[in-house]
Amino acid sequence: MHVLIVEDDRAIAENLYDYLEAVGHQCDYAMTLAAAKRQLVAQAFDVMVLDRNLPDGDGATLARSLRAAGEMLPILMLTARDTLEDKLLGFDAGADDYLAKPFALQELAARLQVLVRRSQVRPEAGRALVCGRLCLDASARQVLLDGQLLSLPPKALRLLMVLMPHPGRLFSRRELEIAVWGQEQDASDNLRSVLLTLRKALAGSGVEIENVHGFGYKLVVA
């Protein structure tokens, strides 16, 4: 895999670079948001390791701008900020995973591989699924509401793509967390945050996500 490392701490960046290259991956490195943007324009990457604290701003702003532009590049946010609030902000900005410093190089590499594998899974080409007033174009990874594109952050879109093919089916919290993040989450607030975003987007559509207390969640059509 081709990894873009965006990190201003040279020692951390060099350790990451050397380790990932040693296990067979290609890496490029940027110390600032501006340098990262230039790298992203110049070439394609499979995944990005993105620090929050950079000399010219917060890495979350880069993640948010990429998602707003429709860029689905997997992002692992790497930072010393490890509070729940910081993690939720990172996920809301568009990060696919979050790893706090200090970290084990082996764990980081494993998480990157999970993100890349997940991004390479493509829904069945040409499949269109209608659920109430919603239409899922799986090949384009788009959801339409009354024919209009429904703007959703990546994790909310991923969650809806799991639920829509199975209206009425009860999904456990664990199932949904693995579908969205690739692994169970330490805090239930992570899934609640994505559900809140999705419920707001679906308001008035006749499609709802129902919480079955103690069991999980299901998509229902009014």
CATH number of the domain bearing residue 136: 1.10.10.10
CA distance 46 to 24: 14
pLDDT band at 94 (very low <50, low <70, confident <90, very high): confident
Cα separation, 199 vs 202, in Å, equals: 5
7, 110: one domain: yes
Q: Are residues 52 and 153 in the same domain?
A: no
- Residues 107 and 144 grouped into a single domain: no
* Predicted confidence (pLDDT) per residue in 7-19, tens digit: 999 999 999 999 9
Write the CATH number for 73.
3.40.50.2300
Tokens of 102: 């200090």
Q: Domain count for the chain, please give it.
A: 2
Do 111 and 16 belong to one domain? yes
Identify whether residues 34 and 116 lie together within a single domain.
yes
Residues 182, 97: Cα–Cα separation, whole Å: 9
* Same domain, residue pair 97 and 74: yes
pLDDT reported for residue 123: 44
Among 90, 120, 150, the domain boundary falls at 120
Which of 3-12, 163-172, 178-187 comes out lowest in average pLDDT?
178-187
Give the burial class of 135: count Cβ atoms within 10 A of its Cβ; 0-12 exposed, 13-18 middle, 19 or more buried.
Answer: middle
Question: What's residue 126's pLDDT?
Answer: 47
Query: Is residue 40 a contact partner of residue 4, using CB atoms and an 8 Å limit?
Result: yes
Q: Which domain holds residue 133?
A: 128-221
Residues 103 and 39 in one domain: yes
Please indicate, yes or no, whether residues 54 and 26 belong to a single structural domain of this protein. yes
Q: E strands of 22-96, at which residues?
A: 26-30, 47-51, 53-54, 57-58, 75-79
Tens of pLDDT along 194-207? 999 999 999 888 88
Same domain assignment for residues 11 and 115: yes
Vertex 31 angle, CA 10 and 25, to 5°? 75
- Identify the sign of the CA torsion 67, 69, 74, 78: negative
C-beta of residue 168 within 8 angstroms of C-beta of residue 162: no
